[in-house]
Amino acid sequence: MFVVESPIGPLGVIVEGDVVVGVRFGVARAPDASHPATEQLRAYFAGELTDFSVPVEMRGGSDFERAVWGEIAKIPYGEMVTYGAIATALGDPGAARAVGTACNHNPVPVIVPCHRVVGAGGKMVGFGGGLERKRKLLELEARVALTRAWG
């Protein structure tokens, strides 16, 4: 596991070969290592990267969870989508809570941006890394998107 220091605390990045298979919040601090995934995460937190290109393998999860993770991966940088909208996109408008559970089980948060999924009306609810981390991630993306839009 590689550890990346970030504004939301240390992130443990689990890599097999060149493929990221996990990201964990709040891991023990350790020396940073150079790997494309850690370099991309550093660039993301510096506001220099909006799209990750490191290969990711989403392991585990039910068919429904894997479908949710696929929808989450499509959410553009700096934008938010509701749990209900993802449920509707998957053909089950009543499954917003199940979408929330799937987001909580996302094995590769930040890179697969479950922090961009919010409650109805944009309400900030639920996040496996805690609401404070979710808020910081959304603020970072909003700030970078604004800076890019207005120069």
Q: What is the CATH number of the domain that holds 78?
A: 1.10.10.10
115 inside domain: yes
Domain count for the chain, please give it: 2
105 inside domain: yes
Q: How far is CA 148 from CA 29, 51, 68, 75, 151, in A?
A: 32, 14, 29, 18, 5
Domain co-membership, 40 together with 76 = no
**Higher-pLDDT residue of 92, 147:** 92
pLDDT tens-digit series, residues 30-40? 666 778 999 99
21 inside domain: yes
pLDDT band at residue 147, thresholds of 50, 70 and 90? confident
What is the rounded CA–CA span in Å between residue 108 and residue 61?
A: 12
Domain co-membership, 41 together with 71 = no
| Interior angle at CA 80, CA 5 and CA 115, nearest 5 | 30
pLDDT for the residue 150: 84
Mean pLDDT of the chain: 92
25 inside domain: yes
Domain co-membership, 41 together with 68 = no
- Check if 103 is active-site: no
Residue 24 three-state SS: strand
Domain co-membership, 41 together with 90 = no
Give the number of other CB atoms < 10 A from CB of residue 123: 10
Residue of 114, 118, 140, 144 with catalytic role: 114
Domain co-membership, 19 together with 89 = no
Q: With the CA atoms of 58, 27, 139 and 90 taken in that order, what torsion angle do they form, in degrees rounded to the nearest 10?
A: 20
Q: Which of 58-62, 75-79, 121-125, 147-151 has the lowest mean pLDDT?
A: 147-151
pLDDT reading at 87 higher than 80:
yes
Residue numbers of the domain that contains 121? 63-150
Looking at the chain, the whole-number percentage of residues with pLDDT higher than 70 is 97
Domain co-membership, 69 together with 134 = yes
50 inside domain: no
81 inside domain: yes
Largest interatomic CA distance in the chain = 45
**Higher-pLDDT residue of 63, 121:** 63
Q: Closest Cα to residue 112, out of 57, 32, 45, 33?
A: 57
Amino acid at residue number 92:
D
pLDDT for the residue 27: 86
Domain co-membership, 28 together with 93 = no
| Interior angle at CA 112, CA 39 and CA 42, nearest 5 | 20
pLDDT reading at 138 higher than 90:
yes
Domain co-membership, 36 together with 79 = no
